[in-house]
Amino acid sequence: MPGIATMSLDNMFCTRCGDGFETNEKIVNSNGELWHTNCFVCAQCFRVFPEGIFYEFEGRKYCERDFQVLFAPCCGKCGEFIIGRVIKAMNANWHPACFRCEECNVELADAGFIKHAGRALCHACNARIKEDGLQNYMCHKCHGVIDGEPLRYRGEVYHGYHFNCATCGVELDHTAREVKHRSGYAANDVNNLFCLRCHDKMGIPICGACRRPIEERIVTALGKHWHVEHFVCAKCEKPFHGHRHYEKKGLAYCEQHYHQLFGNLCYVCNQVIAGDVFTALNKAWCVHHFACSVCDAPLSTKSKFYEYDERPACRRCYERFPQELRRRLRRAHQYTTRR
């Protein structure tokens, strides 16, 4: 809270309005800055601070309400503004007292937590749930406990031995492959499941990313087959969706990241240099972007230029530099050359 005092100030001025102070006028002194009482107001709503309480951010002062609205995060549980310590977890912000285990309700701010099935759990509850669930899937057909990996079929889990391969009749396990028709499942289909041997004989391509059958559009690249949405840039992980890709050491890259990692980006526009590349000062430039950094006059391969702050300067601008600056630039160039 700022101090309010009564004093005589002859050569002092208000920080906000710049006017002086009357003799014996009440003033506000905040961190060595002086204000008229009517000038010491919120930077957002321009109202006097209630009870003199304010919050400061980046050199500007705000009343409590405006500070909360502008800068304070909202708690993911209670929805109130958070003033003070903020817990960032589960893609949200929390009061320390609001961030609790979703099983036993113990506070997690200092104890740590584990994300399990989209929920924040303490270590003890996570261990208990993990132990209970190893891995007690319930078969959708016989309602018995499934020991080991379940067979997943049409959104449900089963014991694999409830099904047989639609081709050879062998009893199935969790490695069975499901095959759809182009128009979806046929109404009278009893079984669309196949053992791995029969599935491979059908010649249905397998996605190189998810290892699942590809039943619709297919992308063939890098010696493999891919679902359209799974054929992505190795750097940004965005699908190509038919756009051009670049291959390097068995990986695919979009144009921007391929040139960023292995090619040339213009120092000025940061775009891939599609045409001729001008290389100078350990940088690459579009030919039409290579220009004097002082006057923007275009430079060419035959132009005389000088290095100035790691950028080119034309001869005319260089000769206008102070003599001391030119001397230092020459020394720096000679030192770099010797190294």
pLDDT in tens, 87-114: 888 888 899 999 999 889 999 988 888 8
* Mean of all residue pLDDT scores within the chain: 79
Can you give the pLDDT at residue 185?
A: 43
Find the DSSP H helices in the chain: 64-70, 123-132, 196-201, 255-262, 315-320, 323-338
Q: Are residues 275 and 288 in the same domain?
A: yes
Model pLDDT for residues 173-182, shown as the tens digit of each residue: 888 887 765 4
Q: Are residues 146 and 107 in the same domain?
A: no
Q: Is residue 104 part of a domain?
A: yes
Confidence of residue 187 (pLDDT cuts 50, 70, 90): very low
Q: Is residue 144 part of a domain?
A: yes
69 has a pLDDT exceeding 70:
yes
209 has a pLDDT exceeding 80:
yes
- Residues 67-79, mean pLDDT to the nearest whole number: 81
Can you give the pLDDT at residue 243?
A: 85
Q: Which of 243, 241, 281, 234 is nearest to 261 (CA)?
A: 234
Q: Is residue 39 part of a domain?
A: no
Can you give the pLDDT at residue 277?
A: 78
* Residue of higher predicted confidence among 182 and 45: 45
Confidence of residue 10 (pLDDT cuts 50, 70, 90): low
What are the structure tokens assigned to 249, written together? 């050491």
188 has a pLDDT exceeding 70:
no
Q: Are residues 252 and 274 in the same domain?
A: no
Q: Are residues 283 and 334 in the same domain?
A: yes
- The CATH number linked to 272 is 2.10.110.10
Q: Which residues lie closer than 8 Å to 45 by C-beta, 6 or more apart?
A: 63, 65, 66
| Percentage of residues in the chain having pLDDT higher than 90 | 4
| Cβ burial 109-138 (10 Å sphere, 16+ → b, else e) | beeebbeeeeebbbeebbeebeeeeeeebe
5 has a pLDDT exceeding 50:
no
Q: Are residues 270 and 332 in the same domain?
A: yes
> How does DSSP assign 191-256, residue by residue?
--EE-HHHHHHTT--BBTTT--B--S-EEEETTEEEEGGG-B-TTT--B-TT---EEETTEEE-HH
pTM of this prediction?
A: 0.31
Confidence of residue 23 (pLDDT cuts 50, 70, 90): confident
Model pLDDT for residues 280-335, shown as the tens digit of each residue: 887 888 888 888 888 988 887 777 888 887 788 888 888 888 887 878 777 776 64
Can you give the pLDDT at residue 8?
A: 53
Can you give the pLDDT at residue 131?
A: 61
Can you give the pLDDT at residue 136?
A: 64
Q: Are residues 255 and 226 in the same domain?
A: yes
Judge whether 100 and 125 are in contact, CB under 8 Å: no
- Residues 265-278, mean pLDDT to the nearest whole number: 76
- Residues 113-140, mean pLDDT to the nearest whole number: 76
Structural domain containing residue 275: 265-338
* Number of domains forming the structure of the chain: 4
Q: Is residue 52 part of a domain?
A: no
Q: Which of 167, 179, 223, 224 is nearest to 204 (CA)?
A: 179
Model pLDDT for residues 249-270, shown as the tens digit of each residue: 888 888 888 877 877 778 887 7
Can you give the pLDDT at residue 99?
A: 93
Q: Is residue 249 part of a domain?
A: yes
